[in-house]
């Protein structure tokens, strides 16, 4: 079901008879910018072990780092996002606060939150951090006597969220 929530935002709720359960909320928010309509898709699962604010933060972060959200693009207000996702304003405030602390968004008092223009720099820092973590993991793996194939399998398991 697609319905207008006001101010250029639309909410899509998945039918509970589909693959999602009634505890899943799927929202597709269309953010109207000056130049075009930007699609911001956020999926929050209330059954997940991951807190809702982390789910929101991770999805917005991924869209910023992938370039789906451009520099200075406005984000949905914290209150509107909370209403649309049916979560507490505290939840969205925490997600946006973490994104701001990580240097991905900035807040203009009385105007809202916007994507920061340094997403490429932040992504570069993440890639460097991943490289450092992989080097450390490789060294620990060697010390533990793991083969390259075993290390690759464990990396794939970690990447896909599987436990060993």
Q: What is the pTM of this model?
A: 0.60
| pLDDT at residue 163, rounded to an integer | 63
The Cβ of residue 76 has, within 10 Å, a number of other Cβ atoms equal to 26
Do the Cβ atoms of 99 and 56 come closer than 8 Å? no
Range list of H helices, the chain: 52-65, 78-85, 89-101, 119-143, 148-159
Percentage above 90 pLDDT, the chain: 48
| pLDDT at residue 17, rounded to an integer | 44
The continuous run of DSSP H or E covering 86 comes out as: none
Residue 27 clears pLDDT 70, i.e. is over it: no
Q: How far apart are CA 130 and CA 126, in angstroms?
A: 6
CATH number of 2-117: 1.10.10.10
Q: What is the mean pLDDT of the chain?
A: 79
Q: Which residue has the higher pLDDT, 135 or 16?
A: 135
What are the contacts of 57-65 at 24+ separation with CB within 8 A? 57/94, 57/95, 57/98, 57/99, 60/95, 60/99, 60/104, 60/105, 61/99, 61/102, 61/104, 64/99, 64/104, 64/105, 64/115, 64/119, 64/122, 65/104, 65/119, 65/122, 65/123, 65/126
Among 4-18, 54-68, 103-117, the minimum mean pLDDT is found in 4-18
């Amino acid at each position: 079901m697609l319905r207008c929530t006001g101010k250029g935002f639309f909410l899509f709720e998945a039918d509970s008879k589909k693959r999602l359960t009634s505890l899943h909320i799927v929202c597709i928010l269309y953010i109207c910018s000056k130049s075009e309509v930007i699609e911001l898709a956020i999926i929050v699962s209330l059954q997940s072990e991951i807190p809702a604010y982390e789910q929101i933060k991770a999805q917005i972060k991924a869209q910023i780092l992938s370039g789906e959200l451009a520099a200075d693009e406005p984000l949905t207000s914290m209150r509107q996002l909370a209403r649309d996702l049916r979560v507490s304003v505290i939840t969205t405030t925490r997600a946006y606060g973490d994104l701001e602390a990580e240097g991905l968004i900035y807040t203009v008092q009385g105007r809202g939150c916007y994507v920061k223009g340094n997403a490429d720099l932040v992504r570069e820092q993440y890639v460097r951090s991943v490289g450092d973590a992989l080097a450390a993991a490789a060294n620990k793996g060697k010390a533990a006597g793991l083969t390259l194939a075993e290390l690759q399998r464990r990396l794939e398991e970690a990447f896909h969220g599987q436990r060993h």
